Chain A
Amino acid sequence: MGGITEEQFAEFGLTFGVAAFMLYMFFILFQLARESKAGRFGTFVIMIGLGLGMMGYVAKGVIKMILEN
């Protein structure tokens, strides 16, 4: 299929699928926080926790890519 193996396709789907899911989760939590379910400090804590978790995920992908190349 266009020179892409099944394994590469699965890896691409998993990488971008999980990233999209995390962004969606971030959006949901941000909306919840905005509606004052968590308050201003809650918003701040949630965003830092999720932000760093997502940064860890992205850093992992970048490091893997660098090592593979």
Chain B
Amino acid sequence: MNDSQALIESRVFTTRTVPLGRPLTWLVAGCRDFLACPWPGLSHGLAVALFGYLLCWFIPDQFWLLAGAFSGFMLVAPVVATGLYATSRALEGGARVSAATVLRAWLPHEKHLVVFGLLLALAGSGWVVTSASLIKVFAAAPVTTPEDFLRVVVLAEEGWLFEGWMALGGLLAAPVFASSVVAIPMLMEHDISVMGAVLTSWRTVLDNPAPLALWATAIAGFTLFGMATALVGMLVVVPLLGHASWHAYRDLVPRNPQSADARN
């Protein structure tokens, strides 16, 4: 059977196997980038927090629906962090980071990023519906406010609704995470098709199932913390995870001398 064009594109790039504890190294590197140039990270974190408050303002007293929207944010976050990948890339090249560095990553000619972002948004919407149904059906009382969610779902005396909600979210998010873990930085850096980037992403997951499961769990943990602090923690969580994701990409898909298509 002939290999598809996307697989041929993907195989130009080698993928690396890393030890289980490597996500910690990515986080440390992400933290270093954030401290070296804090304003892009803080502005991204602030934008995410403000968007969350805007959602609460537009859809008040419907937390059974918002719980899915907030957690589903993790699925579209790789696209949201594009400006942070550009920042980390500039920092590793010793370049000066300006507003143009961040904004250039969002230029309309990056149509592959737009296509991928729309696909992730579709997956996120699927989770919002699933989460809302789960909470509506299994919660012992109506969940209209964050306090209700805490009382009726998280701290429910009987049953395992919160653990089940988290585990189901993990199972459904696994294929999306596998498709996106290195795809967005690849699309940003190389002239590769969406399918080629997704296949490379899957290859890194198949080479590193345990470290990347740990990485996905760490992302969920940090995001949960950011949400538990009434979104204030997002000011730090978004840049930390965004920059760290760039380092994960750089580590899992090393620079390849064969691929001379890297964008400036």
Which chain A residues have a beta carbon within 8 Å of chain B's beta carbons? 33, 40-41, 43-45, 47-57, 59-60, 63-64, 67
CB–CB B212/A44 < 8 A:
yes
CB–CB A40/B206 < 8 A:
yes
Specify which chain B residues have a CB less than 8 angstroms from the CB of A60 in the assembled complex. Answer: 154-155, 162-163
CB–CB B171/A56 < 8 A:
no
CB–CB A43/B209 < 8 A:
yes
A43 and B20 CA atoms in complex are apart in Å by 14
Which chain B residues have a beta carbon within 8 Å of chain A's beta carbons? 150, 154-155, 162-171, 173-175, 177-178, 205-206, 209-210, 212-214, 216-217, 220-221, 224, 228
CB–CB A50/B155 < 8 A:
no
CB–CB A52/B166 < 8 A:
yes
Count chain B CB atoms within 10 A of each CB in A49, A55, A56, A60 and give the residue with the most. A56
The B interface is mostly helix, strand or loop, or mixed, namely helix
Specify which chain B residues have a CB less than 8 angstroms from the CB of A50 in the assembled complex. Answer: 167, 170
A56 and B165 CA atoms in complex are apart in Å by 9
Q: Which 10 A-B pairs have the closest CB atoms?
A: A53-B167, A52-B170, A47-B213, A56-B166, A51-B217, A44-B209, A56-B163, A49-B171, A43-B209, A48-B170
Name 9 interchain pairs, CB-CB below 8 A, sorted by A.
Answer: A33-B209, A41-B209, A43-B209, A43-B213, A49-B171, A51-B213, A52-B220, A56-B165, A59-B154
CB–CB B210/A43 < 8 A:
yes
CB–CB A51/B163 < 8 A:
no
CB–CB B169/A52 < 8 A:
yes
Specify which chain B residues have a CB less than 8 angstroms from the CB of A40 in the assembled complex. Answer: 205-206, 209
CB–CB A49/B155 < 8 A:
no
CB–CB A48/B164 < 8 A:
no
CB–CB B210/A63 < 8 A:
no
CB–CB A57/B163 < 8 A:
yes
